């Protein structure tokens, strides 16, 4: 080993006895030295704030932790029977009523608000432990609605997207949506009995607002909620009842989801009011609730099974939750834990029952109690503003 010095020498300022030597470690032989160790690196506060960056594993905790705690402590929404209206009918053009948090509280304290959420919970309960392909009661009304949704899917084929530079919002969607609005009354009359033809004025606006906004060319959970409200109106009219609920989810809602995925991909619909990485999904919420209910008490598939690609490939056609996860992985690139941290966190929940009840509570808090979403919700005679 070549000779080297272990002492710190300074020709200008010799070492004084008042200062004890500071020992370090020689980088060549490991022995003690009197060289001063390097100064500690300054903290961020001494020079500049840390750079903005996204950690590899973004924690799925929204900024408002009090809101999350409120969701956890909230009671689980329970299934309710839908009261059927009887003559004399007073159908009216529905209008918007929610403008403030006070209005939100008023809605949820009302019978209409409670019963609508109870209807969603009843739909969820109806497919507990059932696959999409399981046989179920299918009324003529259910079959007609599925046929209507098939027609809307066909319209997408007839109205191709236009060439444009913008990433989101293909303007051909407006042509599709205008055809929907123009045809809405005739579509409603395909399943409404003669004595309920006058209901068209009230139920058609819910239907036309279920597939996105034509001016903004976007779609979100508010539009999905309008579709659920439209189905709720049909239940209020007695056109669908509890024995139809399984088919409402596995036939009607599955077909609706197929249509929406096509609209989202073909016309590049922008997510409306998306929470980005902190949200459950850019577009949908209800299929996660229904899909978690399907998987309750499944022998083999657990919430963590969403990370198994073989399971997604083989069973996403039978289970809505798995279909949603497969779609997210198809359209988003990168690590799942990065682009969908909330779904990744939910995969750590021990069983599907906890996932289902947690999502029901979250739907109430994050969708039905948010003014930016519910300000577009409609009220008429079937869903009363009381």
Residue 195 · residue 86 · CB < 8 Å: no
Q: Is the pLDDT of residue 134 over 90?
A: yes
Convert the pLDDT of each residue in 331-375 to its tens digit.
888 899 888 899 999 999 999 999 999 999 999 999 999 999 999
CA distance 207 to 224: 10
User: Which tokens belong to 296?
Assistant: 């309750």
Query: Is 230 a residue whose pLDDT tops 80?
Result: yes
In 256-352, which ranges are E strands? Answer: 270-271
Q: How far is CA 221 from the centre of its chain?
A: 7
pLDDT at 330 exceeding the cut of 70: yes
DSSP sequence for 146-202 = HHHHHHHHHHHHHSPPPP-S-SS--THHHHHHHHHHHHHHHHHHTT--GGGGGGHHH
> How many CA atoms, within 13 angstroms, populate the side-chain half-sphere of residue 122?
22
The 10 Å CB-count burial string (b at 16+, else e) for 246-275 is bbbbbbbbbbbbebbbebbebbbbbbbeee
Cβ distance 120 to 292 under 8 Å?
A: no
Prediction pTM value: 0.82
Q: Which residue has the tokens 């989202």?
A: 264
Element (H, E) at 49: none
Going by pLDDT thresholds of 50, 70 and 90, the confidence category of residue 1 is: low
Q: Region 106-131: what's the mean pLDDT?
A: 96
Mean pLDDT highest for which of 70-79, 137-146, 277-286? 137-146
- pLDDT at site 135: 96
């Amino acid at each position: 080993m070549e000779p080297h010095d272990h002492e710190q020498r300074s020709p200008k300022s010799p070492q004084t006895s008042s200062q004890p030597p500071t020992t370090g470690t020689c980088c060549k032989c490991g022995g003690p030295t009197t060289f001063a160790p390097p100064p500690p690196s300054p903290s961020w506060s001494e020079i500049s704030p840390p750079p903005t960056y996204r950690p590899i594993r973004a924690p799925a905790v929204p900024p408002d932790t009090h809101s999350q705690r409120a969701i956890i402590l909230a009671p689980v929404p329970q299934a309710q029977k839908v009261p059927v209206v009887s003559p004399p009918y007073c159908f009216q053009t529905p209008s918007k009523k929610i403008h403030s948090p006070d209005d939100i509280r008023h809605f949820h304290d009302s019978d209409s608000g409670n019963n609508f959420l109870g209807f969603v919970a009843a739909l969820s309960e109806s497919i507990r432990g059932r696959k999409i392909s399981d046989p179920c009661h299918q009324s003529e009304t259910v079959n007609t609605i599925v046929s209507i949704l098939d027609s809307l899917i066909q319209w997408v084929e007839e109205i191709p997207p236009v060439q444009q530079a913008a990433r989101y919002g293909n303007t051909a969607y407006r042509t599709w949506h205008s055809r929907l609005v123009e045809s809405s009354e005739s579509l409603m009359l395909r399943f409404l009995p003669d004595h309920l033809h006058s209901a068209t004025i009230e139920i058609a606006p819910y239907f036309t607002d279920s597939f996105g906004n034509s001016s903004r060319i976007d779609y979100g959970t508010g539009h999905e909620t309008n579709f659920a409200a439209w189905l709720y109106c049909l239940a209020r009219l007695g056109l669908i009842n509890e024995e139809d609920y399984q088919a409402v989810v596995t036939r009607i809602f599955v077909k609706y989801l197929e249509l929406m995925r096509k609209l989202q991909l073909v016309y590049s619909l922008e997510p409306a009011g998306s929470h980005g990485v902190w949200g459950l999904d850019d577009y949908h919420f209800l299929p996660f609730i229904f899909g978690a209910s399907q998987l309750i008490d499944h022998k083999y598939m657990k919430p963590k099974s969403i990370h198994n690609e073989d399971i997604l490939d083989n069973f996403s056609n039978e289970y809505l939750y798995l279909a949603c996860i497969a779609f997210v992985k198809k359209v988003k690139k990168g690590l799942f834990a990065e682009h969908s941290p909330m779904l990744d966190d939910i995969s750590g929940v021990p069983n599907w029952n906890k996932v289902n009840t947690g999502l029901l509570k979250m739907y109430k808090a994050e969708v039905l109690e948010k003014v930016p979403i519910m300000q577009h919700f409609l009220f008429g005679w079937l869903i009363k503003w009381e």
